[in-house]
Structure 1
Amino acid sequence: MALSGVCFVPSKLHNLLFPSPKLQTYTTTCFSSAREKLRRESNESPTKYPTSCLRKRLLNLSIVAVILSSPISSISKVMAENLELQRYTDSKEGFTLLTPPSWIKVDKAGATVLFEEPNKAANSVGVVVSPVRLTKLEEFGSPQFVADKLIQAEKRKESTKQAEVIAFSERSGKGGLQVYEIEYIVDSTRGGMKRIFSAVFVASKKLYILNIAHSDKPESPLDMHRRRILEQVLHSFDDAPLT
């Protein structure tokens, strides 16, 4: 098994990539002042600032202002989320995925690997690898068929009060690998309401199942930022070369 490190952004670079609202306001004000100063000086001394030169300088100022203003916020959100994950690869079993770096790897019977959020064991990322006779996932059934099987398994548990499929889809993994993704909710006497994200694929006659569980209670619902992070984990689950 190999666990990669975590990359951190130095504070100065972080401030540049993720400017605060105050910094964005300050930046806009500075560039507005600079443009006004150039226009005033050009009017006072036309020979000092030829029209073509003035236009170029104003254009450059405008470009820099655009780069440092609002569009960077959407880029920074994506980069911030990526920085919150690290790559975990199990070359022995043949799979890879991203995980939250603060989550702790724990041992649990039946799980090939399991990560839990500190002090919140109900929030977890786990993978189970089992040998199968199948060579392709489609031999098992469609995404909807697999989703129904997962729900049936949940409903058979005595602790389950409710289980419902929210969504299911199919994507291509490494080398065109067929991967099913399923989202569903479970309400049980053990931990209350949870949202589950699962990904399934078959490779080298092995069935790989990723299960991401997170508390989603009415009084403390799963927020969009955390959901995006969990979806990145879901989409990162893929085949890896065996060693």
Structure 2
Amino acid sequence: MSVRRAVVNLSKQAIRAAKPSARCNPVSRCFASLPESISRSGEATSFPNEFPGQNYDFNWTLNGDGVTPIKKAAFRITKPLDLKVAGLKPLSTSPLKVNASSAKSNMKEAGSDALDFDSYDEIAQRAKDLLSYSDALYCPEGHMPGSTTSVRVITNSDSLAPKLLAYLDRAPKRDSTGCSITAYVLEDENMDNFSAYAIEEVGETEEDITSVAAVVCTGKNVKVEQVVAGLELSLDGLKEDEEARKAEATSEE
């Protein structure tokens, strides 16, 4: 009897579900309760305001680099397709070979006799502020050629971005995080020509200390050789620091 009653009750529920309801779209399916599989999958997270050039994860990463894309047009560029999404044209020549030998003589290192850290920090902060207010930011990412050292370039130059992407080795796909070398490249009519780089150690304990580098290039028309000169000198500095730490660790054993 109990089984029979259950079947009858189920039939009545089915009849009621078949009747039109003010809350149900006639085209949509209505459920009295969610399937168990949905409850197991967890809650969905959506970002309705995201679009090409506006990605929350990448914007937070740029904030960590000291640049806030005010105009909501910051493009992370890791492959040629990303250039097209940003409205740019990929280079037909890739990889791009760049001879930066002559440009290195004009690239100053922060903390040296030629450039103190205070002066470097002042110009670097000015560049970051102006980049934040740029109409668009193009951010090529990859590895330094022949290495696994990660690089991010943050620039407002639509002509430099394709060249720098072609210069860098393509890196494996990864989440948007900080890079070992970050270059800030600003083209602005009101900025003097400036090219410098800085290498600093970061880490909370001696065991996790590592070195990172930053390159700053500004001017009315920044050349790709200037940027590459800073990247190559930064890579050399990072390697020297790593070798020095290894030698020190060996001597203490």
Same fold at TM > 0.5? no
More strand by share: 1
TM-score (normalizing by structure 1): 0.29
TM-score (normalizing by structure 2): 0.28
